Structure formats: structure tokens, C-alpha cells
Amino acid sequence: MTGAEMIVQVLADEGTTAIFGYSGGAILPTYDAVFLHNQACASAGHPQMPLIVPANEQGAGFMAAGYARASGRVGVCLVTSGPGATNTVTPVRDSMADSIPMVVICGQVPTAVIGTDAFQEAPVPALMGAVAKHIFLVTDPEKLEATVRTAFEIARTGRPGPVVVDVPKDVQNWTGVFRSEGLLPIPGYRKRLFATTHAGIEDDEAAEFFGMLRQVKRPLIYAGGGVINGDAAAELTAFATRLQIPVVTTLMGIGAFDTTHTLAMRMLGMHGAAFANYAVDDCDMLIAIGARFDDRVAGVPDKFAPNAKKIAHMDIDRAEINKVKRVDWSHVGELRAAIATLSDYAERTGFQADFSAWHRETEQLRTEYAMNYDRDSELIQPYYVIEEINRQTQGEAIIATGVGQHQMWAAQYFDFRRPRLWLTSGSMGTMGFGLPAAVGAQFANPDALVIDIDGDASIRMNIGELETVTTYNLPIKVVVLNNFGDGMVKQWQKLFFKGRLSASDKSLHKKDFIKTAQADGFEFAVRLDKKSDVPKVIKDFIEFKGPAFLEVIIDPDAGVYPMVGPGQSYDAMITGDFIKARHAVTDPESPGPSQMF
């Protein structure tokens, strides 16, 4: 086989069902190999491996990430050298920050001219090495096959992440023997991985955990994205249900626990539900599972969970233990096995605890500090739109989002019955993520209802992917909540910068989104601007067979509440005019020079 054919065969062997990428000179041999592979598959009646062409490489990277997030499989991105590779830096970093398994294969200039500033050359190892889980530059063609296979191993194992393989054009054109087996020797990584995957919770450790649990009255589980990445949602549900412990989740952990469950306290943090944050304040034991105490959750670590006498922490990554907040009990290992072991220990030993008083308190918190908004407004409120979509989809749709206010509204008001229905850029907060991620999710789940909830500013970032949706006739539903500007930036400027709308008063707002969608081939392209029309229009939108685009003109002053200011604790949470607060915050403190956006 040629090197290019080897790459494609390894992709097929690894179970890849779709490739996302944009062509160019340095990757053409591999593109040709994809064509030949699919031609042979068609002749033999075997499933093909379609190559999905986006509007640009950033879109391809986010499509691969959406595919991975929605399926749990490794997403694959195939791009050319130079700008093709550099355009994928953002999705690679985004995937690294959210622990998403992805393999990016970049074409590179021929080996002999690397370092000469050849046409469309970029220092991919230097660039990607800083943002990826691992980077390979293949200069020995004999190692190509093993390198690509090893890239998949690294991407999916341990704490998942993106791996980049930089392949010079001459290596793609080289011809050699395909062995259909073999991996690179990476002894250090495999040794650490073995230790992690074989680290069990011994009976004495379990006894210590339950000894702490026996001493408390108000335990709370704090679940993060690691539960979803580790396919441990079922184990988490069994554990929480067996012990009757309420659950809050991070933004990335949404879906790890059914939001409609009686023990669900939904999302905590900067824009978490008030009742979720108050539950964190009140708990006397915090059990962190696959979460990392990041700044959006524990803005002031010393004041986070202030009444917790004990904190337990389980994670796949040892670096997360005691990184932000000191804990009393910890376990580093695979979460599925760890949670199952604790559940089994509780069953074997007959552990029982009465948390009924805590359940009454959490139910009161949910009732007294419930999410709410101006339901009498004549303007369309974004919360109402999401509530109506949620009513009609019943927590079963795959929801992708851009980044901004619409992202937080979606996190707050949608239900998610199971994991991998919620796709969003968490740690990086990358605008333009939603639409291409929805494309990747639809290819991963062809029969699922996939909805992109976007903002007018966020969707502009990758608006070219509207044409990708219609080109492949994907039944994706795209919602643009249009408030004519960067809503989250304006909200911060109003709260913390005395209303000085620096540059945000000149946000792009001339675009006719309906004409744009129609120009890109959407047969259903509707503008919704009357509150009374919301239920019917949304019903028509969701039931439309094929790609559908809905622009909703929302209240431009609608804000995201609750909100915990940067560097603030939960007792300084701003809840707005329609959500009750424990502590009145009339003049929010401005963020300091070292505090986060």
C-alpha cells in the first residue's frame, strides 16, 4: 500500500464512520486514497467512510469534535498543510480543554523541505504540541501505520484528548507493506495508563469513604464531564439512587444524571441554578466525580462548599486531585469501576443512611429558588423559546450550542435525559462551535433530532457551515436567538463597567439571516417575532423533514441569571428580578484585575 492508503485503512480498522476535512496539495494523496477506499467498499457492498467537506478547516475540527462528543467514538479530521493545519488549532485546543477524543491528520510539505518555509508550510509540531494531548511528525514511513494506530490509542484512553499526526507528502506517496497490526512503543504512557486502569478501590478505602458518609446529614454529588467521557453515567445514577444522594452537575457534566430525576439539582456554578448553588453552600459532604473545581464553579475555592466537613474526589487524572481545593478522600482511576465498587461495597455491607431531611431541604430549595423570568413580557423571552422547544422534545434531542447567553439559557432550561445529548464548548468557550458540532453529531447519530441553539454573534463565526448542512441534506434544526449584538459582553458591561458599551454598540447587526439561510439552500427559513406564534412555529420547525432554520427576535435586554461574578462566592450571586435570592446583592462588585471574564 501507499502511505496514504495505510492511513485510510487504519481509519477504517478503528471504526471511523465519517471523516471531516478540507483538501489541499499536501494531503491530496490521502484524499485520493479515501476515494479509492469508498469506491472499493461500494463495489463490495460494504459501508463507506464518507469524507465531509466543510466551509473551512475550523468547521471540520468542530464537526469531528461534535461527532466524538455525541458518540463517544474518536472523531477524525483530515486537513492539508500550512493554513489547513493552523485553522484546526482552535478546535484542537477546544477538544483538549474539554477532554474530547479526536485524531487530526495534517498533510505536510515533503520531508526534504521541512524548515525551508516551503509553500504552505507551518511548524505543526511546535504549534500543536502546545495544545494537543500528543503530536506526531512522521518522518520514517515504516512507522506510519503504527503511528496512526497509536494516535487512536492515545486519543481515547485515560483522560481523552486530541492527537495530531503530521504526515509529509512524500511519506503519503511511499509504498510499503501494510501489516494490519502494531503500535509504537510508548512505555511511559502505557505504564501510567496501566496503573490508572488497574487502580481499584480496596475495602479499607471504601470503608473510609462510607465512614465519612455515615457521619454527615447533607451529602451532595458534584459530577463533571469526566463522568460522560468515562461512560460512567449509568454507574453514577445507580450510586446516587442507591444512597439517595442529590446530584449537581457542571456545564460539561450535563446529561451525566437525568435532569428530570427527583435527585437532580441541575447545574451549579457561575450561571448555575440558584437552588443548585445553595445546595452546595448547605451540604456537609461534597463528593466530586470527574470534576475539576474550575473557576466557573469554585470562583473562590476557600468559600466553595463552606459547610462541607468532608470532601471526596474521584478522577481519571491525578493532576486534578488537590489542584484547586484540598480533599479528605480521593481515588485516581477509571470512574465506571470506581463508582461501581463503592455501590457494591454499600450493598455488601448493608450501608444505610437517612437523608430524608436533606431531601426535604433540597426540594424546598428547588421550589423557593426556582428558575424564572418575566413571563408577562410582550417581547419574546429566550427562556420561553427554549422551554417550548424542550416541551416538544422532552429532553431527548441532541442540543449543540454556540457560546454566549444562548448557551447558558440552553443549559438552564433544557432537560437532558441521558449523556451525549448536550454538546457545548465548555473550558475554551469558543464562539462558532454549535453549528459544525451539530453537523458532526448528526453524522454520528443519523436518526437523532439534532438542534443547534445559537446566537446571532456566535453563528457568524462559522456561518458558512449552513451550506454544509444543506449540501449533505442533514435534518439539523438551527435556532438563532437574535438580540442584535454580543449579549453576554453587553451584560458584563452593564453590570461591571457602568454601562459603557465599548465596541458592543457596533456589533454586526445588518445581516438578514433568513435570506442567508435561503441562499444556502434552506427550504424552511422563518423569522419569529410574535410571542403568540411561538408554540405553532416551533412545532412546524421541529416537524419539518429536512434542514430547518429559525430566527427568533428576542428581548435585547434579556440577561443570564443567576450569575456569580468572577472571583465571587455563591453568597454574592445575582439572581435578577424574577428569581428569589437568599442574600440581596444590589451593587455587584466589579471584577478585579486578575479575575476571569
C-alpha cell at 498: 457602568
Pairing of strands 398-401, 162-168: unpaired
Q: Cα dist. 270→59, 245, 267, 563 in Å? A: 28, 23, 9, 5
Please confirm, yes or no, whether 57 is among the known catalytic residues: yes
Single out the residue of 228, 577, 565, 248 nearest to residue 383, CA to CA: 577
Residue from 39, 119, 394, 580 carrying the catalytic annotation = 119
Q: Cα dist. 272→247, 256, 267, 388, 411 in Å? A: 13, 16, 5, 20, 9
Residue from 212, 408, 488, 573 carrying the catalytic annotation = 488
Residue from 96, 136, 169, 304 carrying the catalytic annotation = 169
Please confirm, yes or no, whether 388 is among the known catalytic residues: no
Instruction: Please give the backbone phi and psi of residue 294, each rounded to the nearest 5 degrees, phi first.
Output: -75, 175
Start-end of H helices in 335-461 = 335-349, 356-368, 382-393, 405-413, 434-444, 456-460
C-alpha cell at 509: 447587526
Report the largest interatomic distance among the alpha carbons of the chain, rounded to a whole angstrom. Answer: 72
| Burial classification of residue 182, based on how many CB atoms lie within 10 Å of its CB (0-12 exposed, 13-18 middle, 19 or more buried) | exposed
Please confirm, yes or no, whether 320 is among the known catalytic residues: no
Q: Cα dist. 321→197, 254, 334, 384 in Å? A: 17, 22, 14, 40
* Helix (H), strand (E) at residue 275: helix 274-282
Residue from 120, 244, 392, 518 carrying the catalytic annotation = 120
Please confirm, yes or no, whether 493 is among the known catalytic residues: no
Please confirm, yes or no, whether 530 is among the known catalytic residues: no
Pairing of strands 134-137, 102-108: unpaired
CB atoms within 10 A of CB 122: 20
| Burial classification of residue 185, based on how many CB atoms lie within 10 Å of its CB (0-12 exposed, 13-18 middle, 19 or more buried) | exposed
Single out the residue of 424, 551, 402, 550 nearest to residue 487, CA to CA: 402
Report d(CA 9, CA 19) in Å as an integer: 13
Strand partners, 568: none
* Helix (H), strand (E) at residue 195: helix 187-197
Report d(CA 295, CA 391) in Å as an integer: 32
Q: Which residues are catalytic?
A: 57, 119-120, 169, 488
